[in-house]
Amino acid sequence: MVIGILRIFAILCVASICGKFVSRVKLPAILGWLITGIVFGPYLAGVVTLEITNSVWYKILIKIFECFAGVMIGREIIFKKIAKSGKQITGITFAQSLGTFLFVNAAFAVVFLLAQVPLYLAFVFGGIALATAPAPALSIVNEYHTSGPVTKTLLPLAAVDDVIGVVVFFTVISVISGTHGGTGVSPLAIVGMVVLPFIIGIAFGFLAAALIKAAKKNEIRFCLLLLFLLLSAACGLLIDYYVFHSFTINYLLIGMAFSATTANLVPEREFEETLKLYSPILNLSLVLVIVNLGMPLDYRLIAGAGIFTAVYILSRAIGKIGGAYLGEKLTKAPPVVTKYLGFTLLPHSGVSLVFTGIATTTLSAFAPSLATIVSGAIVAAAIINEIIAVIVAKYAFKWAGEIGKP
């Protein structure tokens, strides 16, 4: 464990250097972090081995820092500020999520019909495709200090999008598994996975806010914020261990719900001062979470990427951009949001790999050949898509005129 921690620390140092180097050539630092994870992960240099990434201590570490990273989303969700746009955000989220699901389904239905692959597999690809990974977009927002309508729409949208993604994906997997002799996911479990992160985050956010408001010194407020964040992550880990028996809960959502609750209860000035002390932890969290996204990406699968990978990348991009555009038109969003928001929604490797692992395990029980198709196509797509998507997302913020001075 000690050696593993030292290796992780060394890779984080390398990632920071690579991020600065990439920034010098006018690309997002996140690209350097992601490449560091791929290069030093289990499938290339092997500095971080599969033994480390599969270990319980490593997974706990990642979940805690995912919770820390979620603070960045929640601090922007000030109810009195987004009250006017709440319906708009919800409408856009549903349009782009379900639009992506339906478009990817349709594209794969045609391809699988021609390739004589069972059509129900198209729904698996659609379920995996609709979710968006918030961490890459958050890293760009944090690095370039973006501010404007696109940023303000993206941050709360990312949270709602994850909820829809969980519900749709697990519903699809449950139905397919149940109809083919496997074990489906119960509706109660799906509700738990969606609702529990919010309950945990809100509960600890209320407790933290009460004590933070009473504290006189900013240093004390910071310590209280960090303490209750750790407690909220610990609560999630205990539920995962004793109830789900796996790492099922979304810790980004816990951190988001926690900080959103605190931000709405603590005076704005005091909360902003506290977050200035929290900034180094947020930066570290984003680096670690992004490096971890690169770890499971097997570069060798790029060579075997074929038609399924190409269809997945293109259909998902069209679904996200087209669905967002339609949702923004229907909800009468600002023109800048209509034009550019969809391009910021393309990154999703973290979520896609989690869903792919679950889908592969489920399909292996009754259709091993289909499990191979899913795992090969999605992992190859994750590598190609993530590198391209990060660059596209950065330029979307630039085109929208929302990039500040780094």
Q: How many CA atoms lie within 13 A of 168 on its CB side?
A: 23
Q: Tell me which fold the domain 2-399 belongs to.
A: Na+/H+ antiporter like fold (1.20.1530)
Higher per-residue confidence, 389 vs 351: 389
% the chain with pLDDT above 70: 91
Residues 230, 200: contact at Cβ < 8 Å?
A: no
Each domain of the chain, given as residue ranges in start order, spans 2-399
Query: pLDDT (tens digit, 9 = 90+) per residue, 55-112?
Result: 999 999 999 998 998 888 777 676 665 556 667 788 888 888 889 999 999 999 999 9
What residues contact 171, with CB distance under 8 A and at least 6 apart? 127, 190
Burial class (CB in 10 A: 0-12, 13-18, 19+), 397: buried
CA distances from 160 to 96, 108, 210, 339, 380 (A): 11, 26, 26, 21, 27
What per-residue string of b and e applies to 237-253 under the rule 16 or more CB within 10 Å gives b? bebbeeeeeebbbbbbb
In this prediction, residue 405 carries a pLDDT of 46
% the chain with pLDDT above 90: 30
pLDDT at 263 > cutoff 60: yes
Dig out the tokens for 201 from the structure. Answer: 């985050």
Query: pLDDT (tens digit, 9 = 90+) per residue, 129-144?
Result: 987 777 777 788 888 8
Could you write out the DSSP letters of every residue in 147-196? -SHHHHHHHHHHHHHHHHHHHHHHHHHHHHHHHTTS-PPPHHHHHHHHHH
CA distances from 131 to 127, 253, 316 (A): 8, 14, 10
Q: What is the chain's mean pLDDT, rounded?
A: 85
Higher per-residue confidence, 186 vs 102: 102
Higher per-residue confidence, 346 vs 203: 203
In this prediction, residue 182 carries a pLDDT of 58
In this prediction, residue 81 carries a pLDDT of 59
In this prediction, residue 80 carries a pLDDT of 60
Residues 347, 321: contact at Cβ < 8 Å?
A: no
pLDDT at 306 > cutoff 90: no
pLDDT at 364 > cutoff 90: no
In this prediction, residue 406 carries a pLDDT of 47
Q: 218-239 vs 251-265: helix axis angle to the nearest 10?
A: 140
